[in-house]
Amino acid sequence: AAPALQGAGSVKQQISNLVALSLRATVPEVDVEPIVEVCTGKFGDYQCNNAMGLWSKVKGSGTSFKNPNAIGQAIAKNLPACDVIESASVAGPGFVNIVLSKSWVAKRIQDMLVNGITTWAPILPVKRVVLDFSSPNIAKEMHVGHLRSTIIGDTLARMFEFSNVEVLRRNHVGDWGTQFGMLIEFLFEKFPNWEELGSQAIGDLQVFYKASKQRFDEDAEFKDRAQQAVVRLQGGEEKYRAAWKKICEISRNEFDQVYKLLDVQLEEKGESFYNPYIPQVLEKLSSQGLIEESEGARVIFIQGHQIPLIVVKRDGGFNYASTDLAALWYRLNVEKAEWIIYVTDVGQQQHFDMFFKAARMAGWLPDPKEKKFPKTSHVGFGLVLGADGKRFRTRSTEVVRLGDLLDEAKSRSKSELLQRLTENGKIVDWTDEELEQTSKAVGYGAVNHVFYLQCRYADLKNNRLTNYTFSFDQMLSDKGNTAVYLQYAHARICSIIRKSNMDVEELKVSGNISLAHPDERVLGLYLIRYAEIVEEACTNLLPSVLCEYLYNLSEMFTRFYTNCQVVGSPEEPSRLLLCEATAVVMRQCFQLLGITPVYKL
């Protein structure tokens, strides 16, 4: 039977399903996964690369095939008759080039316009993901690295959610540890009425942190009290817990402001949440013989690492690693996540590498070579540098105030916009509110976009690691692969649609897309690749793949628009639908990237 006209999953997935049927008919004796890629040459849209591998499996086994090319021919011939594929041909040693049917492509686009872009969601092999991102530390600086983690993590979450995967967005806040002793003592000292303090009353928590640290370093008696405070806090003494809560609350307030600005949803489950689970988790590991005594500490020795992973410090306290082991145990066993993803700067790579290995030694995770779930991944990224080559800061303050960073991006994009509109005499067409909203969308969007970019051109491991030099000028330029350029591209399409006298909403239902012109066909084919792009971005944890797609899509649209007249041409109804489809797909990309699209610029 012919497969349904519009199946679920990406186009690549659907072609793979058809190829799988053909493979079964061609070589019933061998069980292989279909290998389907986007075609690199000009003889097809997708290609099947199974023939060569199959040949090495069947040759010498009395097969009737004479060479890989003959297998390719048979694969092409055995593709089920259906409305997806127009034709298939074989090139070279046995590459099967598949040409999609234009009317199927057109139908798929129109279907999306009528039923919504969610019909283009890819199907991923996981149901539930834990995404551990942002994760700043209480009372310490929330630096630009945390901002990057927040932005990359949020976009990964959005991409998975779009693909119908349940995402547990976890803020693994650093809210536990010995620094709280000194913070609490300092709070008692400076604010005897600390219990009545409002969340803003301490003022700047980072300054507070520094001052308490100074006190700790300079005064032995204070240091002593601070160390006792840790013990009393961990022992659960009420006054100490209340003070700890107060300090966390103040920090949380500050973090929440950033999340609100960026429209990021996160659920806080900080280090303290996992603390009660640590003893039992270490007990299990210990009974498996994984934990050893070393120089007074308790450690796990891990192959390939010079130093062991410390899980209980010499003073008997738990640490970052023991907390992460307990959290992983919880995420696997209680939350039943299949994929646990951590987004931090690359400086922590060794930590993740080591505790992932420890979890494998304990049998919690399969060998990564098996490519099975559950699995863990660390998304590491490089530093953000200022023009001086040092860690990026705004103005002259010591750390980047995220609010300042976003504000500056917004005010810069506003003055650019004002200048341009004034020069073109268009300023009269804009309300103050429009100006404000647009510069916010463009400015904030540019910050988001810039944080994905440095990991583009995909070999994941190495590319995410490079440091990035932050520059407002570059970020807010309207040339090249920038968010501003993309915003312009989208707004231009919206203006074309506005210019037409036809009603797009009506056309979606009554009109027809034809892909007669070669540039229409190229654009149409690229549009329907959307699902596999999201699939790739999720699979490789690379939001930049989506940025790249968005950029290419706008370039393809420009080519189409240059060569195919839209408004006033006989093809206007069909071409207007292509414009609309491009705008819808672009908006969906923006949405996944956490960028607010603008319709007029």
Output 130 or 159, the one with its CB closest to ligand ARG.
130
Of the ranges 128-136, 365-373, 448-456, 578-586, which one interacts with ligand ARG (CB under 6 A)? 128-136
Our CB check for ligand ARG shows the closer of 69 and 171 to be 171
Q: What are the residues whose beta carbons fall under 8 Å from the beta carbon of 499, sequence distance 6 or more? A: 567
CA dist., res. 135 & res. 266, Å (int) = 10
Among residues 172, 410, 412, 508, the one that binds ligand ARG under rule CB under 6 A: 172
Residue 133, φ and ψ in degrees, nearest 5: -145, 170
Q: Does 150 bind ligand ARG (CB under 6 A)?
A: no
Contact code string over 296-325 relative to ligand ARG, x by CB under 6 A = ----------------------------x-
State which residue, 47 or 376, has the beta carbon closest to ligand ARG.
376
Q: Yes or no: say if 331 and 337 are a contact pair by the CB < 8 Å rule.
A: yes
SS3 at position 420:
helix
By beta-carbon proximity to ligand ARG, the closer residue of 95 and 356 is 356
Task: For residue 163, state whether it binds ligand ARG (rule: CB under 6 A).
Answer: no
Burial track 96-123 (b if 16+ CB lie within 10 A, e otherwise): bbbebebebbbbbbbebbeeebeebbbe
Number of residue whose CB is nearest ligand ARG = 135
How many binding residues for ligand ARG (CB under 6 A)?
A: 10
Token digits for 333? 């066993």
At a CB cut-off of 8 Å and minimum separation 6, what does 18 contact?
Answer: 3, 79, 80, 82, 84, 85
Closer Cβ to ligand ARG, 132 or 548, answer by number: 132
- In sequence order, the 6+-apart residues with CB closer than 8 A to the CB of 401 are 394
Binding flag, residue 137, ligand ARG (CB under 6 A): yes
| 36-38: strand order across its sheet | 36-38, 46-48, 95-100, 85-91
If the CB atoms of residues 47 and 135 are measured against ligand ARG, the closer one turns out to be 135
Residue closer to ligand ARG (CB basis): 400 or 581: 400
Applying CB under 6 A, the span of 101-109, 131-139, 477-485, 566-574 interacting with ligand ARG comes to 131-139
Q: Tell me the closest approach of the beta carbon of residue 297 to ligand ARG, in angstroms.
A: 20
Element containing residue 340 per DSSP (H, E):
strand 339-345
CB-nearer residue toward ligand ARG: 137 or 454: 137
Binding ligand ARG by CB under 6 A: which of 174, 181, 374, 543? 174
Question: Residue 367 to residues 187, 267, 305, 329: CA-CA distances in angstroms?
Answer: 48, 30, 18, 17
Identity of the residue numbered 421: L
Instruction: Find the part of the chain contacting ligand ARG (CB under 6 A) among 84-92, 135-143, 282-290, 474-482.
Output: 135-143
Q: Least distance (Å) from ligand ARG to the CB of residue 311? A: 14
For residue 573, how many C-alpha atoms fall within 13 Å in the half-sphere facing its CB? 11
- Segment interacting with ligand ARG (CB under 6 A) among 134-142, 150-158, 206-214, 396-404: 134-142
Give the C-alpha separation, 590 to 442, whole Å.
11
Is there a cis peptide before residue 374, judged by omega within 30 degrees of 0?
Answer: yes
Tokens 């996944």 correspond to what residue? Answer: 592
What 3-state DSSP class applies to 386?
coil
Site map 337..366 versus ligand ARG, x via CB under 6 A: -----x-x----------------------
Nearer to ligand ARG, 47 or 322 (CB): 322
Q: Least distance in Å: CB of 320 to ligand ARG?
A: 7
Least distance from C-beta 449 to ligand ARG, angstroms? Answer: 23
d(CA 103, CA 512): 10
Judged by CB under 6 A, the residue of 10, 90, 132, 525 near ligand ARG is 132
Q: Answer yes or no: are the C-beta atoms of 475 and 409 closer than 8 Å.
A: yes
Strand order in the sheet with 339-345: 267-268, 166-171, 128-132, 339-345, 375-381
d(CA 311, CA 161): 34
Q: Which lies closer to ligand ARG via its Cβ, residue 133 or residue 468? A: 133
Question: Tokens 């650093």 correspond to what residue?
Answer: 174
Residue 141 or 478 having the CB closest to ligand ARG: 141
The answer to whether 171 and 269 have CB atoms below 8 angstroms apart is yes
In this complex, which beta carbon is closest to ligand ARG, that of residue 137 or of residue 251?
137
Interacting stretch for ligand ARG, rule CB under 6 A, among 37-45, 130-138, 275-283, 398-406? 130-138
| Contact pattern for ligand ARG over residues 458 through 487, marking x by CB under 6 A | ------------------------------
How far apart are CB 534 and ligand ARG at their closest, in Å?
Answer: 25
In the complex, what is the shortest distance from the CB of residue 301 to ligand ARG, in angstroms, rounded to a whole number? Answer: 21
Nearest to 579 by CA among 566, 589, 595, 570: 566
Choices 133-141, 390-398, 410-418, 519-527; region in contact with ligand ARG by CB under 6 A: 133-141
Give DSSP secondary structure letters for 164-175. T-EEEEEE--B-
Q: Kindly state the smallest distance separating residue 272's Cβ from ligand ARG, in Å.
A: 12
Q: How many CB atoms lie within 10 A of CB 268?
A: 17
Least separation in angstroms between CB 183 and ligand ARG: 16
Q: Mask 261-280, x = binds ligand ARG (CB under 6 A)?
A: --------------------
Residue 177, token pair as written in the block: 């540890």
Closer to ligand ARG by Cβ: residue 108 or 378: 378
Length of the chain: 601
Burial class (CB in 10 A: 0-12, 13-18, 19+), 409: buried
Measured from the CB atom, the residue of 172 and 393 that comes closer to ligand ARG is 172
135 part of the interface to ligand ARG, by CB under 6 A: yes
Q: Which stretches of the chain bind ligand ARG, using CB under 6 A?
A: 132, 135-137, 172, 174, 324, 327, 342, 344
